[in-house]
């Protein structure tokens, strides 16, 4: 079985030849010293860690799973050691704030590390991923005292983080949650309630576990306006920073899941646990969305990472597996990669992966821009692009990521269904990414209902104009992909105008949402394929030939989907809303 190869050459190509990483870093105070060379050398080391330490415990972790015995969680063999090595090597604090001991490197590098973590071991990657989400919420909303107490050890990774939002009757609709927070009088609160689906809710790595818990203050109004956010540590922290008494919280059970078995996804009981408020009373959702937006991008990257790993293994298998005759019948058995339908499956995955990675880096560059550019207007514009792209990255990357895992498994035929080959784990693990941190249907509603309507549609128009300009520039040199993407962009703009015009009609928005998000993503990938094709059109090396061929495939075989999506959107909501609920 092939092992995972970190896609360093592809990353270098994107940073150097397609997306102008060095120029951006030059323009960002604090990042002037960062360039592609540095980024690549760091990511090469990160890739070695992922391939050498994390991938080898991915399947064994799935088989063994996390366990709960007598209230104590055990992660699978090798996880605690790997986590210790991860922290010691400094990977936890890569993009962390230097003020609290982080290395302050750009988001671009972080998401590329996240991709490799997700390729190698999705369950493991959730520990640092959730810690970083919690760090962002604390950094942006907590008191100086909380920051000083918790951030250094969370950024180093010595302590991990968890987000405790969902309750059994309050998932998408957090306004229904019932966990309560009672003020003690000394600035702290007693938290009482039960939460479910808490990823990284406990572990056996040592250190502390910092839960960010959504709860209601006494007399808080109903609905989302009555929700506040609380920092609730597993161990209370002494004045000198050492760990004190166990807090009043416990793991009720571990969820029995389809995938990510190594992840201890917890049912948590808070029985008067001591907590401290993060942000203003009643503004818990606001603080939560700071971490949630970071997590949504992270989850999108998970979809990309799993797809890369699955596609690599499928391509390797397809080169080795001998079965059937060549197309002209003259040779056989031949490697199945000679068969057109196998090639099509591999190219479908590859054309998503490379387009998505480029788009992810572009989005992360906008995040770096938004947090560091000296010009406030530039920051505002970049922030808008990140807001627009967040639901697209979360939902499209995980939908295409799951589809890529499935077709990569299909390349293996019957062997793909057998656990030993590892392909079915990709499918089971990838499935959660379409669900958690807001289901993909919720992402699509966010895109249509909130993001498309931002600035009265001007934000989306700015994005489309930028894409159009790039396509026009590339038309002469790479006409196939530029023109096919241009036609798809027209479909997207038409759909956008129609949805903006009928924005008061929530049934129309909801009926179009998932089609619209997929259309939006395909255009965005096409934009990136146009730029990748343009960057390689005068070259003749292996990477250039690969990009040219896959760009052509994306134009010929993937972009046609946009025609059907546009037609479906144009057909409106009548057929979706007509049927009585009891007749389904």
452 contacts: CB under 8 Å, gap ≥ 6: 460, 496, 499, 500, 516
Q: How many CA atoms lie within 13 A of 503 on its CB side?
A: 15
Residue 371 contacts residue 95 (beta carbons within 8 Å): no
Q: Which of 432, 439, 437, 440 lies closest to 123, judged by CA?
A: 432
Helix (H/G/I), strand (E/B), else coil: 275: strand
Q: Which residue is it, tokens 């057109």?
A: 340
Distance, first Cα to last Cα, the chain: 45
> What span, in angstroms and rounded, lies between the C-alpha atoms of 345 and 553?
11
Indicate if 437 belongs to the active site. yes
Helix (H/G/I), strand (E/B), else coil: 129: helix
> What span, in angstroms and rounded, lies between the C-alpha atoms of 165 and 171?
8
Q: How far is the CB of 450 from a copy of itself (least distance, A)?
A: 15
Query: Among residues 45, 437, 455, 490, which one is catalytic?
Result: 437
Q: How far is the CB of 575 from a copy of itself (least distance, A)?
A: 4
Q: How far is the CB of 449 from a copy of itself (least distance, A)?
A: 11
> What span, in angstroms and rounded, lies between the C-alpha atoms of 76 and 260?
12
Residue 261: φ, ψ to 5°? -65, -30
Q: Which of 236, 265, 268, 228 lies closest to 250, judged by CA?
A: 268
> What span, in angstroms and rounded, lies between the C-alpha atoms of 262 and 324?
38
Q: How far is the CB of 507 from a copy of itself (least distance, A)?
A: 5
Q: How far is the CB of 562 from a copy of itself (least distance, A)?
A: 7
Q: Which CB, 206 or 333, lies closer to a copy of itself?
A: 333
CB 31: neighbour CB atoms within 10 A? 18
Q: Which CB, 501 or 567, lies closer to a copy of itself?
A: 567
Q: How far is the CB of 361 from a copy of itself (least distance, A)?
A: 22
Catalytic residue IDs: 437
């Amino acid at each position: 079985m092939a092992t995972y190869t970190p896609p360093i050459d592809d990353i270098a190509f994107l940073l150097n030849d397609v997306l102008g990483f060095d120029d951006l870093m030059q323009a960002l105070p604090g990042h002037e010293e960062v360039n592609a060379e540095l980024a690549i050398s760091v990511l090469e080391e990160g890739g070695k860690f992922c391939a050498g330490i994390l991938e080898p415990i991915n399947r064994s972790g799935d088989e063994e799973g996390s366990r709960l015995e007598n209230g104590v969680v055990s992660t699978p063999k090798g996880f605690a050691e790997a986590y210790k090595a991860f922290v010691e090597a400094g990977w936890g604090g890569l993009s962390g704030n230097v003020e609290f001991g982080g290395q302050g490197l750009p988001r671009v590098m972080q998401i590329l590390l996240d991709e490799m973590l997700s390729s190698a071991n999705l369950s493991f990657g959730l520990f640092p991923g959730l810690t970083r989400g919690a760090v962002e919420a604390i950094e942006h909303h907590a008191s100086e005292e909380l920051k000083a107490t918790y951030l250094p050890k969370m950024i180093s990774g010595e302590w991990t983080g968890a987000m405790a939002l969902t309750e059994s009757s309050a998932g998408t609709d957090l306004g229904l949650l019932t966990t309560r927070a009672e003020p003690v009088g000394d600035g702290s609160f007693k938290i009482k309630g039960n939460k479910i689906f808490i990823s990284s809710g406990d572990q056996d790595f040592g250190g502390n576990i910092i839960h960010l818990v959504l709860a209601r203050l006494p007399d808080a109004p109903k609905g989302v306006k009555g929700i506040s956010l609380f920092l609730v540590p597993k161990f209370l922290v002494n004045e000198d920073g050492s760990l004190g008494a166990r807090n009043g919280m416990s793991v009720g059970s571990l969820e029995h899941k389809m995938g990510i078995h190594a992840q201890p996804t917890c049912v948590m009981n808070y029985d008067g646990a001591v907590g401290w408020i993060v942000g203003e009373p009643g503004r818990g959702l606001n603080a939560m969305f700071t971490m949630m937006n970071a997590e949504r991008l992270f989850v999108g990257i998970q979809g990309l990472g799993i797809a890369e790993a699955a596609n690599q293994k499928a391509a390797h298998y397809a080169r080795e597996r001998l079965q059937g005759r060549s197309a002209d019948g003259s040779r056989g058995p031949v490697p199945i990669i000679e068969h057109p339908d196998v090639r099509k499956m591999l190219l479908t995955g590859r054309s998503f992966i490379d387009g998505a990675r480029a788009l992810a880096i572009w989005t992360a560059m906008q995040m770096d821009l938004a947090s560091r550019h000296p010009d406030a207007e530039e920051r505002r514009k970049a922030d808008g692009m990140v807001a627009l792209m967040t639901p697209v990255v979360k939902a499209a990357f995980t939908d295409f990521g799951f589809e890529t895992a499935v077709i990569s498994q299909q390349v293996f035929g019957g062997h793909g269904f057998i656990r030993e080959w590892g392909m079915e784990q990709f499918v089971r693990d990838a499935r959660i990414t379409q669900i958690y941190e807001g289901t993909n249907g919720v992402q699509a509603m966010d895109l249509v209902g909130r993001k498309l309507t931002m600035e009265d549609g001007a934000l989306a128009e700015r994005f489309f104009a930028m894409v159009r300009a790039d396509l026009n520039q590339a038309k002469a040199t790479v006409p196939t992909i530029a023109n096919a993407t241009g036609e798809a962009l027209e479909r997207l703009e038409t759909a956008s105008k129609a949805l903006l015009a009928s924005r008061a009609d929530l049934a129309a928005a909801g009926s179009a949402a998932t089609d619209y998000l997929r259309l939006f993503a395909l255009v965005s990938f096409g934009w990136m394929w146009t730029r990748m094709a343009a960057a390689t059109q005068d070259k003749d090396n292996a990477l250039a030939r690969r990009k040219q061929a896959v760009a052509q495939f994306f134009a010929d075989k993937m972009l046609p989907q946009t025609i059907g999506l546009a037609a479906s959107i144009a057909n409106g909501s009548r057929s979706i809303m007509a049927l009585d609920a009891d007749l389904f």
